Amino acid sequence: MRAEASGYDLHVLELDVQSQESANAAVRVVINETGGLDAVVHNAAHLLIGYTEAFTAEDIAHLFDVNVIGAHRVNRAALPHLRECRAGTLVYVGSTASVIVPPFLGPYVASRSAFDALAQVISYEANHFGIETVIVMPGPFTQGTEHFPNSGRASDDAVTAQYAELDSYVARNEEATNGLFDPNTDADPTAVADEIARILAPPAGAKPARSVVDFSHGGVEKVNDLALAAQRDYVRRMGFGDLLGSDAR
């Protein structure tokens, strides 16, 4: 409804990030029906809450399949076209959790960190073909989304029971997160969509490497600035400065 009211011609396609065939098919439809592909926004992710030890290897493998490998599948479907055009933008919607590392979200934080690292490494290779990369880092959202209520739990109930002394902390996780917001703050998740639209609007070479949308004021921007400077310096000293993109050489 919001897209229609804004005058956008929105078409919805089915895409299962756990299926390479599904990703390939969705990209083919976009290219065949529109004649090209300008941007890919990686936004699929699931949240797990609980005691890290209580998550089985299978629990964590499934989460990584959605949160990390899913993006890789979509890239494998989209990058051949973007490379051929030598243009385009990859937008990765990650999380400030990969920096601030909140408690009781172990597998989720690990997957967000892996997703972030994958995006950074792929950016070197994509830059060579004129494909830009932007990592958007939303903070927590407790309103306007079912992220917390629909979160997954650990499969091993026996191990979970052994952590009963911490149950009160987990029970008030969402309440504690709400307490991070300033009074009267409208932490609306549509702010993330608005930020992605803002990022995609400028011409090639004018997009930021990262953007943070965090109403909880986690201070992630400071960490990002230091990490990005150190990363670029390291890559330049390796003699690979030309892989950093035109805005960072």
The neighbouring-strand residues paired with 41 are 91
For residue 3, what pLDDT is reported?
64
For residue 77, what pLDDT is reported?
98
User: Measuring CA to CA, how many Å separate 70 from each of 37, 43, 106?
Assistant: 19, 10, 19
For residue 38, what pLDDT is reported?
96
Backbone φ and ψ of 105, nearest 5°: -125, 30
For residue 193, what pLDDT is reported?
94
Q: Which amino acid is at 168?
A: S
For residue 103, what pLDDT is reported?
96
State pTM to two decimals. 0.93
Tokens of 79: 């990058």
Q: Which amino acid is at 20?
A: Q
For residue 151, what pLDDT is reported?
84
Task: Determine the Cα angle at 115 with ends 67 and 11, to 5°.
Answer: 60
List the chain pLDDT tens, one digit each, 249 residues.
466 666 778 889 999 999 999 999 999 999 999 999 999 999 999 999 999 999 999 999 999 999 999 999 999 999 999 999 999 999 999 999 999 999 999 999 999 999 999 999 999 999 999 999 999 999 998 876 766 667 889 999 999 999 999 999 999 988 888 889 888 888 888 999 999 999 999 999 999 999 999 999 999 999 999 999 999 999 999 999 999 986 664
Question: Please, are residues 42 and 91 in contact by the beta-carbon 8 Å criterion?
Answer: yes
User: Measuring CA to CA, how many Å separate 100 from each of 97, 108, 116, 222, 244?
Assistant: 5, 13, 13, 12, 26
For residue 142, what pLDDT is reported?
80
For residue 118, what pLDDT is reported?
98
The superfamily in CATH containing domain 39-243 is: NAD(P)-binding Rossmann-like Domain (3.40.50.720)
**Per-domain residue ranges for the chain?**
39-243
For residue 115, what pLDDT is reported?
98
